[in-house]
Structure 1
Amino acid sequence: MKNLFEHGKPRYGRFKVVPQCIDIHDFHYVSPFKRHITGLEKNLRFKSFQFISLNNSQYMVGLAVVDLGWVGHGFFYCHDLQTGKVLEHSFLQPFGKHTHVCNHQVGSSSFKKSSFLIEIKKTATGRLVKVRRGKHLLLDATIGIKDTEPLVLCSPTGASGWTYTHKQTALSVTGSLYFNQQAIDLKNQQFVAALDDTCGILRPETAWHWLSLSGMDRTGQRLGINLASGVNETFVSENSLWLNGKIFELPAVLFEQQAKNQWRIYSADGGIELSIQTHWRRHEAKNFGVVASQFNQWVSTISGTITCQDSRVDIDAQMGLLEQHYAKW
C-alpha cells in the first residue's frame, strides 16, 4: 500500500502491509457541521507517537517519542524486576519543539530536550534506536521486524476522525542497554522487543486500556500478545496473538481491576483468560484544563490461557506491560 489515504479519506480495515506514506496533508478533514478544518487547527488535532519496549525475564525498558500538537513528549525508563531499581527520564517540549514523529514506512523520529535525546530510525528491516543523556549512552539497539507479521489497521474514530496503528511483538533485538553501571548485551540476555506506531485524529477526550506481551510460551515458541479496549473498536479490532511471527486475530476483551496490584483480562466466549500482577508503575498526572492526561503503565507479570483456532496457548508468568490512559487533548 503506497498511501493510507485515498481521495482525501483514510482506508479502513486490517492490512497485510505497512503504508509507505501517512501524511496528514493528504487527509480532507471536515467537521460534523461540514466545516473544512485546515492549517494550524488541523495540525494541532493530529496526534502521533512511537513507543518501543524491550524486555527479558528481568528487565523492562520503555521509550517513546510523542507529538500531541500542543506539546512534545519524550521518555525512557528501565526497570529491574529482581532488584526494584529504576532509571527514568521524562521531558516535555511546548508545541512539539525539537519533537519529530515520522509516520512513513521509512524515516527518522527524534525528541531532544537539553542533554536528553531519543533517536528512532525506521528502515525496511527494522528499527535503529539510540537514547542518550549528556555524554552517557543509555540504549543502542537494533530491532528486526522481517520475520514477524505486522498488525496494521485503521478505524473510524468519533464523528470525523480516524486512528491508525502498526504494532509488532516478540521481535529480535541486538545491541546494548546501559543500566546500573553495566553494559547489558541484548542478544545474549535474550531480550525481545515490541513496536507501537500510532497516529490519527483521535477523540478529543478519550480513555483506553492496553496490554502488550513479548516472550516465549511453554513450548519455546516466540509469543506476542496485544490487547486493547477503548480504542480501535469500530469495524476492526487490534486484539492479536503472535506465535513464531504469525499473527492471529483475537476477540474483544474486558479489563477488570480486582485489587490494587491485580487485574483480570478476559473475553466473553472464555477463550481469553489472563491474570495480571502489576509491579513498578510509570505514572503521569497533568491537568491544564484544556489539556489533561492521567497515564499509568505498569510493568506486569502475565499468566493464563488463550484459545485460538482450537489451539490453547499457556502463559506462565511472562513479563509485559499493562496500561490505563485517560487523555483530553
Structure 2
Amino acid sequence: MDRLIQANGQPHFGIFLQAVGEVNYRDFDFRSPMGRPRGALAKWRRFHQFQYFGLISDQLIGGCALANLSLAGIGFVYLFHPASGRMIERQFKLPLGIGTRFSQHPNSGVCELRSGKNLLRLENHGSEKRLSVELDDGTRIEAAFNELEPAFQPMCLNTPTATDGWVYAQKVAGVRCQGSVQSALGRFDLAAIDAFAHHDWSAGYMRPETFWNWACLSGQAGGQRVGLNLSCGVNETSFTENCFWLDGELIKVDTVRFSYDRNNEMAAWRIQSFDGQVDLHFEARGLHKERLNLGFIASNFKQIFGQFRGELRPNGRPALVIDGLWGFVEDQYVKW
C-alpha cells in the first residue's frame, strides 16, 4: 500500500502484510465528533508521531525514543548495565519541535533531534533500521538490524481511535542487532554480546487524553529467536497489535491483561492473554521515567526493564518456556 489515507480522505484500516509507503496524514478528512470539518491548524496540532529503538542483552539494555507532539519535540536515551545496576540517561524537550525532523515514511526516511552537541537519529531504509546517538558526555551508539537477515514479518496495522482519529503502528521484536556502544558503562560490540533489537514506528490522531500498557521482549529461548509485543489501551478498536514472533514468524495474540501495582513501579507484573497463548511474569530490574505537566500537555511515563518468566503457547504447538529473558514493560499516561 503506497499511502495510508485514501483518495476519499479516509484511512485504510486493518492488519497489513507489509508497511505502508507513506502516512499521508495531511490528506485525512479530519472532522469533529459532530461532523464539522477541521482546518489545517487542528490537523497539525492533533497529529502525533513517535519512534522507538530498543537494545536487549544480558550485558546491556538500551532505549532511544523520538516524539513529535506538534507543540514540542521530545527525545530520550538511556543505557542500563544489569551487572552493576549503573545507568546513563538523558532527556530532551524542544518547544515546537525546533531542532527536530520527522519523516512520514515508515520504511524510508530519517527522524532526528539535535540539541547543542547532542544528536538522536533514527534511520529507516527498507528492511534496515539504524540508530545513531552522539551525546556531549562522549556516549556513542551505533546500532542496526535488518528484517530480511533472516526473514522477519513485522506487525503493521491501523486502527480507529475515539470518534475522529486513527493510529498506524509498525512493530518489530526478536531480531539480532549489530553495532557498538561506547559510554561511561564501557565499550560493547552488540553482535559479540548477542544483542537483540526491537523497533516501534507509530503515528496518527490518538485520543487527546489516553493511557496504555506495553510489554516487549527479545532473545533466544528453546533454540528459537523470540520476540513479543503486547499492548493495552491504544490499538484495540477492531484490531490489536498483540503478537509474538518465533524465528521471525508472526503469531497473532488476542487481547491481554496487565496486572501490576501502579503505586509500586518496581513490583512484579503478570501479563496474560485472553486466548491463553501468553502467560508471563515480569520482574523489574531498572527504570526510566519522566513526568511533565504543563496543563495542555502532560505525561506520566514509566518504562521498566527487567526479566520475563512463564510460557508462550502457540496454538497447535508445544509451549515455549521463557526463563529470564530481558525486556520491557510500560505504564504511560499522556495528555496532548
Matched AA of 2:201: D
Is the aligned partner of 1:323 residue 2:325? no
Residue-by-residue CA offset, 1:209-267 (whole Å, 9 max, x unaligned): 000111111x2210000011111101101000100001010011110015652011112
Which of 191, 210, 229 aligns to 2:195? It is 191
For residue 243 of structure 1, the aligned residue among 221, 246, 268 is 246
Q: What aligned pairs does 1:54-133 form with structure 2 within 5 A after superposition?
A: 54-104=55-105, 105-133=107-135
Select between 162-171 and 250-259 the one with higher mean Cα deviation: 250-259
| Local SS of the residue matching 2:177 | strand
Q: How many residues align?
A: 328
Q: Which residue of 2 aligns with 1:5?
A: 5
1:58 deviation in Å? 2.2
- Deviation by residue 1:85-137 (Cα, 9 ceiling, x = unmatched): 10111110011111222220201110111221111111013112210013835
Query: RMSD across aligned C-alpha pairs, in angstroms?
Result: 1.4
Match of 1:264 in 2: 270
For the residue of structure 2 that corresponds to 1:53, the secondary structure is strand
Structure having the larger proportion of residues in strand:
1
Q: Could you say if the C-alpha distance between residues 128 and 73 of structure 1 is closer, same or farther in structure 2, counting changes exceeding 3 Å?
A: same
Residues 130 and 99 (structure 1 numbering): CA distance in 2 closer, same or farther, change over 3 Å?
same
Q: From 125, 128, 150, give the equivalent of 2:154.
A: 150
Pairing 1:310–2:301 present: no
Distance in 1 separating the partners of 2:127 and 2:303: 28
TM-score w.r.t. length of structure 2: 0.94
SS of the counterpart of 1:82?
coil
Instruction: Measure the CA separation in 1 of the matches of 2:185 and 2:329.
Output: 28
| Greater than 3 Å deviation, 4+ residue runs | 268-271
- Does structure 2 retain, via aligned residues, the 8 Å contact 1:53–1:195? yes
Distance in 2 of aligned mates of 1:151 and 1:283: 26
Q: Is the 8 A contact 1:12 1:155 kept in 2?
A: yes
Q: Which residue does 2:279 correspond to in 1?
A: 273
Post-superposition offset of 1:8? 1.1
SS in 1 for 2:42: helix
Gaps of 5+ in 1: none
Aligned counterparts of 1:135 and 1:280: Cα–Cα separation in 2: 22
Question: Do the aligned partners of 2:63 and 2:79 also contact (CA within 8 Å) in 1?
Answer: yes
Instruction: Compute the TM-score of the two structures, normalised by the length of structure 1.
Output: 0.96
